[in-house]
Amino acid sequence: MDDDKRFSTNAIHSGTYQADGAVNTPVYLSSTYRLDEERYAGWAAGAQHTLLYARISSVNSEAVAKKIATLEGAEDGEIFSSGMSAISTTLMGLLSRGDHVVASPDVYGGTYGLMVEDLPRFGIEVTMADIRDPASYEAAIQPNTKMLYSESLTNPTLKVCDLEAIAEIAHRHNLISVVDNTFTSPWAIQPISIGHHLVIHSTTKYLNGHSDHIGGVVVGNKELISQIFSKKIHFGGSADPHSCFMLERGIKTLGVRMPTHASNAAELARRLSDHPLIEKVIHPSLPDHPDFDVAQRIMPKGTGMLAFVIKGDDRDAMKFMSRLSIIFEATSLGGVESLIEVPATSSHMFVPPEVRLKSGIDPGFIRLSVGLEDIDDIWSDICTALEE
């Protein structure tokens, strides 16, 4: 792809289909396409990247898949209607009865549910290892292991996975390595460049960046992506053209959004660390973060995700949130607006309290997706709500 261009140039130009002199890829609201000789030939060859029918691909999904593949340094990619659709199609597409996958209890809740409730129903075994400890991933490998599954940075406790070590283990054991890179984005780390095979995103988050789209993507080498493509056709989780357009538009500014998300989060982390009503602050830029060294080595640019624990309990955390006026109380992340939640009463409500505690979600734990508002306005919103 566009190897000679830099990140922001690729974010703006790669993949974009400028038909009829339009600067943007127009929205092709067409469920089907005229069959001609070339398309019949593409169909006969497996249909991937052939404009036949919009469940297979559309002008808009092709454009944005190329853009993301370029940003992640991948050969190929497929777009989905949600992050979970990308994850389930990848796992169900590549794993068969009798196969085994190693993952971690810290992966996104929907992924965890799929792994512990659904994969076993189809005869696929899963072992949960410690995302902070690559040796535990290696120790879990069995003769039937086919895949290692990790996340660059976990939700909501912001544990950093040593992706260099996991890639090395995958190669040594000849396993497929899949990374969910949603929390960091290709601006901060490109797992394929350090040896992973597939990268997944919930494009709902940083890639779209404006909280107006639900989508997913998987990128990687041509062979694996073509296997996943054939299952996308069966499972049907394709994205509609308008949603692809919203994603493509959002990605164009990824290279300017991410530095501010990350610097706002790092600055808030520093200020919160000194606040008397705060028990603990978790951000990989803080030297007291347990994975600070790994984060500095593999993702020094950071992330806009931040977590902190207020003095008190979850009820105090809820009261604090209700007093905020700029920061928006809602689940999800990665948008231009700051979003805040208490995981124990929202995204992790159904995780048993003892499991939450074990993974580091203490009483009073708050997750903040730091937006692009002025840092001093976010800070005064937080201070006012804490001190009221």
Ligand X SMILES: Cc1ncc(COP(=O)(O)O)c(C=O)c1O
83 versus 304: smaller Cβ distance to ligand X: 83
Residues 25-64, mask of contacts with ligand X (x by CB under 6 A): ----------------------------------------
Active site residue 316: no
Strand partners, 201: 217
Q: Is 265 in the site for ligand X (CB under 6 A)?
A: no
Q: Is 290 in the site for ligand X (CB under 6 A)?
A: no
Q: Is 157 in the site for ligand X (CB under 6 A)?
A: no
Q: How many residues bind ligand X (CB under 6 A)?
A: 14
| Residue 203: closest CA among 235, 159, 237 | 237
Q: Is 185 in the site for ligand X (CB under 6 A)?
A: no
Type and span of the H or E element at 369: strand 365-369
Q: Tell me how far apart the alpha carbons of residues 308 and 317 are, in angstroms, rounded to a whole number.
A: 10
The residue annotated as part of the active site, out of 76, 180, 291, 381, is 180
Active site residue 180: yes
The phi, psi pair for 174, rounded to 5°, reads 60, 50
Q: Which stretch binds ligand X (CB under 6 A): 175-183, 223-231, 294-302, 312-320?
A: 175-183
Residues 324-363, mask of contacts with ligand X (x by CB under 6 A): ----------------------------------------
Q: Is 108 in the site for ligand X (CB under 6 A)?
A: yes
Q: Which stretch binds ligand X (CB under 6 A): 36-44, 76-84, 96-104, 288-296?
A: 76-84
Q: Tell me how far apart the alpha carbons of residues 201 and 35 are, in angstroms, rounded to a whole number.
A: 32
The phi, psi pair for 245, rounded to 5°, reads -65, -45
- Return all residues near 388 (Cβ < 8 A) that are at least 6 apart: 323
Q: In what order do the strands lie in the sheet with 365-369?
A: 278-282, 305-310, 365-369, 339-341, 328-329
With vertex at residue 160, the alpha carbon angle to CA 146 and CA 174, rounded to the nearest 5 degrees, is 20
- Return all residues near 11 (Cβ < 8 A) that are at least 6 apart: 67, 71, 251, 252, 253, 254, 255
Active site residue 172: no
Smallest separation (angstroms) from ligand X to the CB of 242: 16
Q: Which stretch binds ligand X (CB under 6 A): 158-166, 179-187, 229-237, 300-308?
A: 179-187
The phi, psi pair for 251, rounded to 5°, reads -60, -30
Interface residue with ligand X, options 15, 77, 83, 250 (CB under 6 A): 83
Q: Is 204 in the site for ligand X (CB under 6 A)?
A: yes
Active site residue 40: no
Smallest separation (angstroms) from ligand X to the CB of 208: 9
Q: Is 104 in the site for ligand X (CB under 6 A)?
A: no
**C-beta separation of 286 from 269 below 8 A:** yes
Interface residue with ligand X, options 72, 180, 341, 381 (CB under 6 A): 180
Coil, strand or helix at 198: strand
Task: Report the chain's terminal Cα–Cα distance, integer Å.
Answer: 53
Interface residue with ligand X, options 216, 335, 343, 364 (CB under 6 A): 216
Please identify every residue annotated as catalytic: 55, 108, 180, 205
Report the interface residues with ligand X, using CB under 6 A: 82-84, 108, 110, 151, 155, 180, 182-183, 202, 204, 214, 216
